[in-house]
A and B are shown apart, each in its own frame.
Chain A
């Protein structure tokens, strides 16, 4: 990190990326807003939104960060049977499989406590879990592709992969969630 702590230097270094991030996230917001009717009709689903985005983005960023490090340490090869690759992918599925049902149950419980649980517990947990497992597939595919692309383009994966994967998982988190909602509710 640079030694320069002037307002100009910090803003100049971060602002362009924030603009790119905002434009990408606005696309996710647009998709979300397109389903406003169903989300406001069922507050349990609206309650799930921050959780889906947070957990999806974090899953992607943890995986990307680990793959980048394994790549730097030279322990990663882009082989479908590679230990680091398969092990991290398996952990991503296991994390998604444990955390998303918990987020679903937590969101349902919170709405139930507030007295407006319009959907059943099973439906909300199902929506969260199905979105989570699909998102794990997406996170693995994107993190692997981005790390591989960084390797081919001779970019430092730490610089590129984490922000790209985190943002993409945020946006696709919304898209996948709404697809599942559309198919279920």
Chain B
């Protein structure tokens, strides 16, 4: 279990090249600590705030889908959070591989190692989306709350899981590899990239999934 927890050591929301405590030296005053903490976190928080307004706009326009597919809103936080963890950890893993010389930063058919990392992330991302749909359905059904048929929630979650997986994998690989080739620290790129694009891609693909489910008549 400790090993499993260790996988999350690198906080997917933060670039790992971001040394949170590098200025927390013994003799710093409160004011210095506060100013340093503020300055360090400000950039990444502004980035994620701006990106989240875009995802908010998509979500804000989804009243119709949210009404036709009851229970969909229940899945939103879970689908977004797992997206960040899964593809943030893919980015952190690729960054580590680049640093260790295990991964070749070429944008071509990936080698076996990179392919395993991508497939594992996609598998995690899609299966956990399906799990969220089943668990969300079970909880709402158990609590006697209005809920769409399980098949509808599954269609939304799986379509969103697959599409966002493809999109985020592409974004993560391109930014991490291209950044590395240009001399940037890939650890510092993976976190912010997933933070900023993850929610937008996550919500947009949920909307696509909801439209497909409604069109296909499973609701």
Contact = CB atoms under 8 A, between A and B. Distances in A.
B53 A5 contact: no
Instruction: Select the residue from B8, B40, B89, B119 with max chain A CB neighbours within 10 A.
Output: B8
B77 A51 contact: no
B78 A26 contact: yes
Contact of B63 (A14, A40, A99, A103): A40
Contacts of B131: 19, 22
A102 B21 CA distance: 27
Given A7-B119, A29-B73, A99-B45, A87 B34 contact: yes
Interface in A48-93: 48-51, 53-55, 57-59, 61-63, 65-66, 68-70, 72-73, 75-76, 83-84, 86-88, 90-92
Interface in A10-42: 10-19, 21-23, 25-26, 28-30, 32-33, 36, 39-40
Nearest to B196: A54
B105 to A, nearest CB: 16
Contacts of A87: 28-34, 36-37
A103 B7 contact: no
Contact of A170 (B52, B81, B86): B81
A47 B57 contact: yes
B5 A160 contact: yes
Given A1-B10, A159-B8, A107 B74 contact: no
A103 B78 contact: no
Contact of B73 (A33, A47, A48): A33
Interface string B110-150: 00010011011101100110011001100110010100000
B60 A47 contact: yes
B53 A14 contact: no
Contacts of B127: 15
B11 A5 contact: no
Contacts of B41: 58-59, 62, 91, 95
Contact of B20 (A6, A47, A66, A90): A66
Nearest to A28: B77
A50 B199 contact: yes
B6 interface: yes
Most chain A CB neighbours (cut-off 10 Å) among B13, B78, B136:
B78
A131 interface: no
B182 interface: no
Interface string A149-171: 00000000011101100110011
Q: Which of B10, B46, B96, B113 has the most CB of A within 10 A?
A: B46
Contacts of A55: 45, 48-49, 52
Contacts of A1: 6-7, 9-10, 92-93, 96
A102 B7 CA distance: 34
Interface string A98-116: 1100110011001100100
11 contacts: A7-B123, A26-B135, A30-B74, A36-B66, A46-B62, A47-B56, A55-B49, A57-B13, A86-B34, A87-B34, A162-B8
A14 B89 contact: yes
Contacts of B29: 83, 87
Given A10-B116, A33-B73, 13 more contacts: A6-B120, A7-B116, A15-B124, A32-B77, A46-B60, A49-B56, A54-B49, A58-B13, A62-B44, A66-B21, A66-B37, A83-B30, A87-B29
B116 A5 contact: yes
A18 B52 contact: no
Contact of A47 (B13, B31, B59): B59
B53 A47 contact: yes
